[in-house]
Structure 1
Amino acid sequence: MAEVYETAPRRRRRGRGLLIVVVILLLILLGGAFVADRWGKSFAEGVIADKVTEQVRAQKASSDTPEVTIEGFPFVTQVLDGLYKEIRIQLPNFSGPTGTGDDIHLNLLDIHAKDVKAPLDALRSGQGDVVAGSLTANGKIDYPQLVDLIGQKGVTLSAKDGKLVGSAKVTALGQQLDLSGTAKLTVVNGGIQVRFADVKAANLPDVPLFQGFIDSYAQKLALDLPAPKLPLQLKVKTVTPEADGLNVTFGADDVNLNAGGL
């Protein structure tokens, strides 16, 4: 009877040992697959970052190194499908020329590429088409920069009730005037148009000459800002005043992320 009770524990120990070995092997395989997945993702992000850098330079613009993130997990299933739901491209400290001698600076140009078709060979070799079905992007022009572009000293810009508000202290005929007014923002031919149409003075004397001065001053605040040269065929879509600047949205469709210059 003693021998019977000795053999059962040995079998259970051998069974447990085999199970542990299988689990360890599975963990190694899964770990290896995870590492391979992350390496492939990082490699593809690097390829796209290099191509975007080429496009920035082709536009005679500049930025810090692009930060590319391919969203979604696992990466390998997207590779096999050749379709990526979203790729995020961030361009820190972006500056683009407008063609008028002025550069537009954006602390961050944040781009989202949706429905990206990318064959494996294109990502592996850096050649071929990597086409985004749509691109959307955001950037912000801060108010001090906008004041410099308007070119009138003493102007302060801010946002109120979703509108761009300007104020200034100016002197006319020996009288200091506290001026304020709201601006109309319009996207025209891919650029931003700023027009102050209702500038008023809180302490305006009842003299027609002062009103003529104010109207003339409002015209000096007008600004036609051409769009900066942007990579990836991005165009200005909307402009919205926010607390710290003008939030500009950009967009484009059917863009080749893998092109050296567009």
Structure 2
Amino acid sequence: MIIAVILGGIFVAADRIAVNMAESEAADKIKSSQGLTSTPEISIKGFPFLTQVVGKELDEVDVSLAGITATAGDRSVNVTEVKAELRKVRIDSSFSSAVADQADGSARISYADLTKAAPQGATVSYAGADRAAKGQVKVTGPLTDLLEGAGIDVPGALKGMLDGRTITTYSTVVLNGGSTVQLRAEAMPKLPVPGFDEKLRKAVDYDLKIAGMPSSIKLDKVDATESGLGFSGKGTDVSLAG
């Protein structure tokens, strides 16, 4: 009985050593293939690991990615958090390839980072529970800063009329193509000069392109929360190396 306990302990220890080595190897491969600036966190689920390796299929692999970016024009910001939960991951003996039958992906962008990517002069924030339920965020900013930040020439007479005036609008957030986040203003204030209403809309509306998600995971749902925007999606035949 004592020998069985000892052997069992040795097996468990060897199993944990093996899974730690595999997690480290997988993390390095993902970092290299995705061109990340930091090493992702990998967690291989299920026990025993060695038995899964013999069967060439892992029950579940969880990946937390850092160094993922979102870009809007020439502006680039970090995506606060990116995760992927991969199930039934098929591997080869050298771990040079790993493909998941199914995967759930998620990403989160804080309002601070949404503001960094927003047009000059705009601040993006939580819009309250009612509007958040509609997928909307709050966008505020000084009128002249927004217009001039978008490269729109504001005549001196109009600038005097708009000086000190701040607008507040609510933008609906939608996903397009699985990785592009679009913010579109619901309504804009009427300006005293014809043609400037549409120019103001162009100054407020913007797109964010999330780069670095595994290509076969398509984000298709967005939630506006108090801490930022949360995105989620699913994928099939997802490569662990992206």
TM-score (norm 1): 0.72
Q: In the alignment, which of 77, 80, 83 is matched to residue 110 of structure 1?
A: 83
Distance 1:95 1:211, change over 3 A: same
How do 1:212-223 and structure 2 match up within 5 A?
Answer: 216-223=199-206
Q: Which 4+ stretches in 1 moved above 6 angstroms?
A: none
Secondary structure (helix, strand or coil) at the match of 2:79 reads strand
1:170, 1:179 within 8 Å by CA — same for their partners in 2? yes
How do 1:1-262 and structure 2 match up within 5 A?
Answer: 23-57=1-35, 62-92=36-66, 94-96=67-69, 98=71, 100-119=73-92, 121=93, 125-127=94-96, 129-153=97-121, 155-160=123-128, 161=130, 162=132, 163-170=136-143, 173=161, 176-189=164-177, 190-200=179-189, 209=192, 216-231=199-214, 233-257=216-240, 259=241
User: How many equivalent residue pairs?
Assistant: 221
1:226 Cα deviation (Å)? 2.5
Distance 1:230 1:104, change over 3 A: farther
Higher helix share: 1
1:156, 1:168 within 8 Å by CA — same for their partners in 2? no
Amino acid at match of 2:69: G
Measured in 1, the distance between the counterparts of 2:121 and 2:172 equals 20
Q: Where does the alignment leave 5 or more consecutive residues of structure 2 unmatched?
A: 145-158
1:52, 1:231 within 8 Å by CA — same for their partners in 2? no
CA-based RMSD of the aligned residues comes to 2.9
2:72, 2:206 within 8 Å by CA — same for their partners in 1? no
1:191, 1:226 within 8 Å by CA — same for their partners in 2? yes
